[in-house]
Structure 1
Amino acid sequence: MELEFLGTGAGMPSKGRNTSSLALKLYEERGTIWLFDCGEATQHQILRTAIKPRKIEKIFITHLHGDHIFGLPGLLSSRSFLGGEEPTPLTLYGPSGLKGWVHFTLELTKTHLNYPIRFVEIEEGIIFEDEQFIVKAKELEHVIPCYGFRIEQKPLPGELYIEKALKLGVPKGPMLGKLKNGEDVVLDNGTIVYSKEVTGPPKKGFVVTVLGDTTYCRKSIELSKDADVVIHEATFDHATANLAKDYGHSTNVEAAKMAKEAGAKYLILNHLSARFLPHDIEKLLKEAKQVFPNVFVAHDFSKFHWKNGKLNELYF
Structure 2
Amino acid sequence: MELQFLGTGAGMPSKERNTTAIVLNMLEERGTMWLFDCGEATQHRILHTPIKPRKIDKIFITHLHGDHIFGLPGLLGSRSFLGGTEPLTIYGPAGIREWVETTIRLSGTHLTYPLHIEEVDEGIVFDDEQFTVRAAWLSHVIPCLGYRIEQKPIAGALQVEKARALGIPKGPLLGQLKRGEDVTLPNGQVVRSADVVLPPKDGATLTILGDTKYCKAAILLAQHADLVVHEATFDAETTHLAAQYGHATNIEAARVAQEAGAKHLILTHISARFVGEQVTKLQQQAASVFAQTYIAHDFAAYRLHDGNVTILTK
Superposition TM-score tier, normalisation by shorter sequence: over 0.9
In structure 2, what is the equivalent of residue 17 of structure 1?
A: 17
Q: Tell me the CA shift for residue 237 of structure 1.
A: 0.3
In structure 1, what is the equivalent of residue 211 of structure 2?
A: 213
* Deviation by residue 1:118-171 (Cα, 9 ceiling, x = unmatched): 111111111111111111111111111111111111111123343543355432
- Aligned letter for 1:198? V
* Deviation by residue 1:258-305 (Cα, 9 ceiling, x = unmatched): 101111110000001111122210100010010000011000000111
Between the aligned partners of 1:223 and 1:182, the Cα distance in structure 2 is 33
Any conservation in 2 of the 1:138–1:147 contact (CA below 8 Å)?
Answer: yes
In structure 1, what is the equivalent of residue 118 of structure 2?
A: 120
Between the aligned partners of 1:58 and 1:184, the Cα distance in structure 2 is 37
1:1-316 paired onto structure 2 within 5 Å: 1-83=1-83, 86-185=84-183, 187=185, 193-315=191-313
Q: Sequence identity of aligned pairs in percent?
A: 61
* Deviation by residue 1:38-87 (Cα, 9 ceiling, x = unmatched): 0000011101111000000100000011000000011001111114xx53
- Aligned letter for 2:220? E
Any conservation in 2 of the 1:157–1:182 contact (CA below 8 Å)?
Answer: no
C-alpha distance 114-237 of structure 1, shift in aligned 2 (>3 A) = same
C-alpha distance 144-186 of structure 1, shift in aligned 2 (>3 A) = farther
Between the aligned partners of 1:16 and 1:98, the Cα distance in structure 2 is 28
Aligned length: 314
Between the aligned partners of 2:310 and 2:224, the Cα distance in structure 1 is 18
Between the aligned partners of 1:191 and 1:135, the Cα distance in structure 2 is 43
Any conservation in 1 of the 2:204–2:305 contact (CA below 8 Å)?
Answer: no
1:107 counterpart SS class: helix
156-165 or 64-73, which deviates more: 156-165
1:37 counterpart SS class: strand
- Aligned letter for 1:15? K
Point out where structure 2 has 5 or more consecutive residues left out of the alignment.
none
* Deviation by residue 1:161-214 (Cα, 9 ceiling, x = unmatched): 435433554322232233223344455567664423432321011111000000
Between the aligned partners of 2:266 and 2:133, the Cα distance in structure 1 is 19
Between the aligned partners of 1:248 and 1:182, the Cα distance in structure 2 is 50
Q: Tell me the CA shift for residue 19 of structure 1.
A: 0.4
2:38 counterpart SS class: coil
C-alpha distance 92-189 of structure 1, shift in aligned 2 (>3 A) = farther
Any conservation in 1 of the 2:6–2:42 contact (CA below 8 Å)?
Answer: yes
1:78 counterpart SS class: helix
TM-score normalized by structure 2? Answer: 0.95
Between the aligned partners of 1:105 and 1:190, the Cα distance in structure 2 is 67
TM-score normalized by structure 1? Answer: 0.94
| Aligned Cα root-mean-square deviation (Å) | 1.7
Between the aligned partners of 1:148 and 1:185, the Cα distance in structure 2 is 46
